[in-house]
């Protein structure tokens, strides 16, 4: 079975600063990795996903993530955040079957 | 419709009442998933349908939880004799292809139903 640990429950950051949201996973098989964003009172929206190939994945809204197999990590980064990036971010892992497992989430708060 | 819709968006139930939560997936999507999201937590898998067949219900927490998708489109999650621990946001997701959550088979999520059991 897979599991995900999001190392920070809350990340406050000032506008236009860079940000990194950390995610570590554990699995005995090859995995697919995802980052979702959840705005208040809305469902989850896919930011990006790693399926195979290049370990640096680019997503929507200027976000990117890097898959590091040796460190079992999939950290999310953005070089310059905006107020509108304030939301809850979830890392998720799957073996490719209907077995998506989510982390507990990281609340990103962007301050002016 | 443009996306996955869920109704009601909010539901308050007295302990012991039965509730029914509805999910309208994106038209033509084969797979449908239900998740439970407790306060401050990530979504937890409940059950999965491929068309009308419920292929995995391993995440349902008790036999008070029941889900159906009789015609392979709309799905209903029913909770009988609700308890306070059932309070959570219930998310529905659908995907175009069958089974896999990888290989580009993105799950599209609805806005959720927030259930509060008093």
B70 in contact with chain A, both atoms CB, cutoff 8 A: no
Facing residue for B111 by CB, picked from A43, A96, A103:
A43
Higher pLDDT pick, B103 / A58 = A58
| Residues of chain A contacting B112 with CB distance shorter than 8 Å | 43
- H/E segment holding residue B13: strand B10-13
pLDDT for position A43: 85
| Residues of chain B contacting A6 with CB distance shorter than 8 Å | 42
Residue B104 reports pLDDT greater than 70: no
pLDDT for position B1: 54
Residues sharing a CB contact under 8 Å with residue A30, sequence separation 6 or more, in sequence order: A95, A96
CATH assignment of the domain containing A99 = 2.60.40.10
| Residues of chain B contacting A97 with CB distance shorter than 8 Å | 99-101
- CATH T-level assignment (fold) for domain B5-98: Immunoglobulin-like (2.60.40)
3-state secondary structure (DSSP) of residue A54: coil
Facing residue for A43 by CB, picked from B40, B106, B112:
B112
pLDDT for position A25: 94
Would you call B41 and A105 a contact, using CB atoms and an 8 Å cutoff? yes
Identify the domain containing residue A64 by its residue range. Answer: 3-111
Q: Which of A10-19, A72-81, B1-10, B86-95 has the lowest mean pLDDT?
A: B1-10
| Alpha-carbon gap, residue B92 to B108, rounded angstroms | 8
Q: How many separate domains does chain A show? A: 1
pLDDT for position B61: 94
With vertex at residue A41, the alpha carbon angle to CA A74 and CA B94, rounded to the nearest 5 degrees, is 65
Q: What is the pLDDT of residues A36-94, one digit of tens each?
A: 999 987 889 999 999 888 889 999 999 999 999 999 999 999 999 999 999 999 999 98
Q: Tokens 């995900």 sit at which residue?
A: A4
Q: In what order do the strands lie in the sheet with B65-68?
A: B5-7, B19-24, B75-79, B65-68
Would you call A103 and B107 a contact, using CB atoms and an 8 Å cutoff? no
B24 in contact with chain A, both atoms CB, cutoff 8 A: no
Residues sharing a CB contact under 8 Å with residue A51, sequence separation 6 or more, in sequence order: A32, B102, B103, B104
Q: Quickly state the pLDDT bin for B102 (edges 50, 70, 90).
A: low
To the nearest 10°, report the CA torsion of B89, A65, A13, A46: -30
């Amino acid at each position: 079975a897979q599991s995900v640990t999001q190392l920070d429950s809350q990340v406050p950051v000032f506008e236009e600063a860079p940000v990194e949201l950390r995610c570590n996973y554990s699995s005995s098989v090859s995995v697919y990795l995802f980052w979702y964003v959840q705005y208040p009172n809305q469902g989850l929206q896919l930011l990006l996903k790693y399926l195979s190939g290049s370990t640096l994945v680019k997503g929507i809204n200027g976000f990117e993530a890097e898959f590091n197999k040796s460190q079992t990590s999939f950290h999310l980064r953005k070089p310059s955040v905006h107020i509108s990036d304030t939301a809850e971010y979830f890392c998720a892992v799957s073996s490719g079957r209907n077995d998506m497992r989510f982390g507990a989430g990281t609340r990103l708060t962007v301050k002016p | 419709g443009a996306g996955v819709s869920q109704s009601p968006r909010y539901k308050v139930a007295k302990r012991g009442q039965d509730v029914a939560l509805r999910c309208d997936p994106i038209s033509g999507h084969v797979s449908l998933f239900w998740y439970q999201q407790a306060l401050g937590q990530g979504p937890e898998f409940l059950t999965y349908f491929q068309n009308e067949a419920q292929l995995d219900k391993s995440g349902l927490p008790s036999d008070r939880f029941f889900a159906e998708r009789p015609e392979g489109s709309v799905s209903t999650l029913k909770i009988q004799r609700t308890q306070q621990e059932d309070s959570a946001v219930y998310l529905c997701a659908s995907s175009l292809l069958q089974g896999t959550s990888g290989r580009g088979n993105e799950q599209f999520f609805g806005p959720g139903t927030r259930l509060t059991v008093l």
